A = this chain, B = another copy of it.
Amino acid sequence: MTMAWQDYLIRNQDTYIRQLLDFLRISSISSLPENKEDVQHAAEWVAERLRTAGIEHVEILPTGGHPVVYGDWLHAGDKPTIMIYGHFDTQPVDPLDLWDDPPFEPTIKDDRVYARGASDDKGNMLAPIIAAEAILKCNGKLPVNLKFLFEGQEEIGSPQLPEWVAAQKERLACDLVVSADGGQWGEDQPAILTSLRGICALQIDVKGAESDVHSGIYGGSILNPIQALARILASMHGEDGRILVEGFYDKVRAISEIEQSQIEAVPFDAASYQQVLGVDALFGEPGYSTYERSWVRPTLEFNGIWGGFQGEGVKTVIPSVAHAKISCRLVPDQQPDQILGLIKKHVEKFTPSGAAITVREDPSQADPYAIPYDHPGNQAAYTVHQALYGKAPLYMRNGGTIPVCALFQQVLNVYTVNFAFGLNDENIHAPNEFWRLNSFRRAGKAHGMLFESLSKKLTAGNHSVKP
């Protein structure tokens, strides 16, 4: 008698956790040139793991930037073809001194694994591989055709992926993408994700004197770059938090009634939201709720600023340079290029006369993304969640960006169902990132069930995307 794949998953739990720890030990930070080899190393780890699972045609493919890993299993005949997406790169780790344990020495405490990349996205992307392995080992075949596409530069906005996906259209053809990058509402509350924000980013560089100069000798007689930068940044928001860059909101779609009611159905507890963040008050665009602000309204956030002396005590210099990093989260129908253009115009307008200011656009950009809440892929996910959690999922939005969702829509003409198990308190992109091992156990089973559900709900060749 063959074992049920669900039992196979349970029996091999410890092995899978050990494998996850191995994966988390690889410091695959995609934004740092010095970690380039680690990203390659992570790709090799993923390729080997796919092969072990029984996935075929596994290859590490160059993109011009960090590589992608591809593999497939295509023996399900006229069943739909599903492409699993995830990423094996991670965010940087600074400020390192705020981590309780080294970010690339995974530590298990209270059934949680602490490491950079644990929740975003190594744990989540490992789960569907394990699910496929379990079903293949137990049943000898999968209920759908599967393709796997794992990339190594999601955290820097996947700069080479659009060109690469366009060139690989045949290989990547499918009926639906299932993204194993993202999260659920809560430990006991599943959710269906229906939109993601896009992104664009830039850096402002202000140059004053050729080198830092003495603030006693020259103070008062030349423009201080920090002064010019502060003036420009301060001009970008009103006191009430509204973005004052001219035209910024022009293309923003109004929130529909059904959207509004779905957002209102998501329980919101201001006290616990504030407690997680450690803030005394919330703040944002007037006239919108917190979820509206962070899910379906656009932002302009300062991600970093620096210039002059940062040490202990006093250094009486007028700095030579000052810099700021800005990124915007975009919503339909804003576009990265359009918004970058508006910001550049704004910076020009607020540049003090005589100041030498450069605006550098970052190559990482993504359009905003939305999928109909009742798409068959979402219906399949709904069924799985309902069964797994014993509870109807919420219809949620996410204020973050998964650039590939818009990309797959545009280039492959397919929607992406986001099906992943991170939770909001897991410090992703921050010190002490962790993932619940319970989410790992649940995710493996969930992906297996999703394959089975999609096998019934989704018709091959019927995946057209609404314009």
**A237 CA to B318 CA in the complex, in Å?**
15
- Taking a contact as CB atoms under 8 Å apart, the answer to whether B294 and A217 are in contact is yes
Within the complex, what minimum Cβ distance (angstroms) separates A209 from chain B?
4
Contact partners of A157 in chain B: CB under 8 A: 314
- Taking a contact as CB atoms under 8 Å apart, the answer to whether A430 and B317 are in contact is yes
Across the two chains, which residue of chain B brings its CB closest to A328?
A: B219
Can you list 25 A-B contacts with CB-CB less than 8 angstroms, sorted by A residue number? A92-B315, A156-B313, A214-B400, A216-B401, A217-B294, A217-B428, A220-B285, A220-B301, A220-B399, A222-B279, A223-B241, A227-B233, A227-B237, A227-B302, A230-B233, A239-B352, A301-B318, A302-B308, A304-B319, A305-B307, A306-B307, A309-B325, A314-B362, A315-B325, A316-B327
Of residues 48 through 91 on chain A, the ones whose CB sits less than 8 Å from some CB of chain B are 91
Q: Which of B92, B234, B290 contacts A230 (CB 8 A)?
A: B234
Of residues 272 through 318 on chain A, the ones whose CB sits less than 8 Å from some CB of chain B are 273, 277-285, 290, 293-294, 297-299, 301-318
- Taking a contact as CB atoms under 8 Å apart, the answer to whether B315 and A303 are in contact is yes
Contact partners of A313 in chain B: CB under 8 A: 31, 156, 362, 364
Contact partners of A279 in chain B: CB under 8 A: 208-210, 222-223, 354
Contact partners of A221 in chain B: CB under 8 A: 273, 282-284, 290, 293-294
Contact partners of A91 in chain B: CB under 8 A: 315
Would you call A374 an interface residue if the criterion is a C-beta within 8 Å of the partner chain's C-beta atoms? no
Would you call A147 an interface residue if the criterion is a C-beta within 8 Å of the partner chain's C-beta atoms? no
Contact partners of A210 in chain B: CB under 8 A: 277-279
- Taking a contact as CB atoms under 8 Å apart, the answer to whether A92 and B216 are in contact is no
**A234 CA to B241 CA in the complex, in Å?**
16
- Taking a contact as CB atoms under 8 Å apart, the answer to whether A430 and B211 are in contact is yes
- Taking a contact as CB atoms under 8 Å apart, the answer to whether A230 and B312 are in contact is no
* New contact pairs (11) apart from A210-B277, A234-B234, CB-CB < 8 Å: A31-B312, A91-B315, A197-B216, A214-B430, A218-B399, A229-B230, A239-B352, A303-B316, A304-B307, A315-B325, A317-B429
Contact partners of A398 in chain B: CB under 8 A: 216-217
Contact partners of A427 in chain B: CB under 8 A: 211
Would you call A98 an interface residue if the criterion is a C-beta within 8 Å of the partner chain's C-beta atoms? yes
Q: Which of B308, B310, B329 contacts A216 (CB 8 A)?
A: B329
Would you call A231 an interface residue if the criterion is a C-beta within 8 Å of the partner chain's C-beta atoms? yes
Contact partners of A239 in chain B: CB under 8 A: 231, 352
- Taking a contact as CB atoms under 8 Å apart, the answer to whether A280 and B356 are in contact is yes
Contact partners of A399 in chain B: CB under 8 A: 216-220
Contact partners of A267 in chain B: CB under 8 A: none
Contact partners of A227 in chain B: CB under 8 A: 233-234, 237, 302
